[in-house]
Amino acid sequence: MAGKNQRHAEIWAIGGGKGGIGKSFLISNVATYLALHDNKVVLLDADLGGANLHTFFGVNKPRTTLTEFFDEKIPLEALIVDSGIQNLGLLVGAVGSLAMDSIKYTQKQKLLRHIRKLRADYILIDLGAGTHFNAIDTFLLADKMIVCVVPEIIAIENLYYYMKNVFYRKLITELAGHGLRNLVPDIWKDRRYHRIRNLRQLIDFLKRLQDPVPNVVDNALKDFSVYIVLNKVRRRTEISVGSSVKSICAKYFGFHACFAGYIEHDDFVPICINKRQPYMQAYPASRCTQEIGEVAENLVHGRPFAQALHEGS
């Protein structure tokens, strides 16, 4: 595993266009896979208003949550609870007491700083649904940004809008460092006058402006990469949706996306969730567990899904 010899933890964050697409199931099982392969993993539930990651591990009443971090100034390291999986610790969201959009700017910055200081090989962050700045900024903090999508047209449309908001925020943040915080919002507000219809055209417009804007935009694109995981696949023909989402990112946004793999629908998943039973422990030999492992390995190595291999199987 790549993370074992790293001096600093590699941070992965998972987001998506809407709730109910299975991203908490995905990230909890990817974290389990990494931990079972001798990596120290911290799984952080950043869905502060609806934290539920602990239930995937059968933890009914966590002894500590992020409430203590915000209200009592207790260090994150001291708030990690046992998941029941060796090498895997949980940082539980502030159950029912906070929402991500209620956190102040200074609180958010403190949380992001402390996340980076955690001692682990991998830190995996599960974000709640929505595009509030705090959630997006946490997503942008990650070394690897992962988006979960299901093969349904509404889910794909929601993911498109999610990614648009994420990269829009990325542009604003990067330009703000050069004293140009309002440049992108002002141009977007007057997009009809500038004949801009989508984010790709906004990027092209920015690249025609005076320095340093083109260089800032080029650097933002160069450093921006998203990993796509397709969930709840029922038919083999649906696997191509992952490649289609990758093409959407290139065509409408102009940035790189990597289709990291897919996970099939499994009727036993909701049964495990309802029983608060870790899926990979209950069904270690299932096809779904195998696919989770393949996705995790692709994410570790930053490589795309080997579709040709699966077509031949």
The DSSP call for residue 29 is H
pLDDT of residue 168: 92
User: What amino acid is encoded at 201 in this protein?
Assistant: Q
Write out the H or E segment, with its range, that includes residue 181. none
As a whole number of angstroms, the distance between CA 57 and CA 28 comes to 8
- Are 74 and 66 a contacting pair, CB within 8 Å? no
Amino acid 6: pLDDT: 47
For domain 2-305, the question of CATH label 3.30.70.1450 is answered with no
- Rounded to two decimals, the pTM is 0.90
Rounded Cα distance between 304 and 312, Å, is 17
Low-confidence ranges of the chain (pLDDT < 70): 1-7, 48-50, 94-102, 130-131, 307-313
**What's the pLDDT tens digit per position in 100-148?**
556 777 888 888 889 999 999 999 999 877 667 788 988 998 999 999 9
Find out whether 116 and 35 touch, Cβ atoms under 8 Å: no
Backbone angles phi, psi at 263, to 5 degrees: -130, 130
What's CA 230's distance to the chain center, in Å?
13
User: What residues does each domain of the chain span?
Assistant: 2-305
What local confidence, expressed as pLDDT, does residue 209 receive? Answer: 96
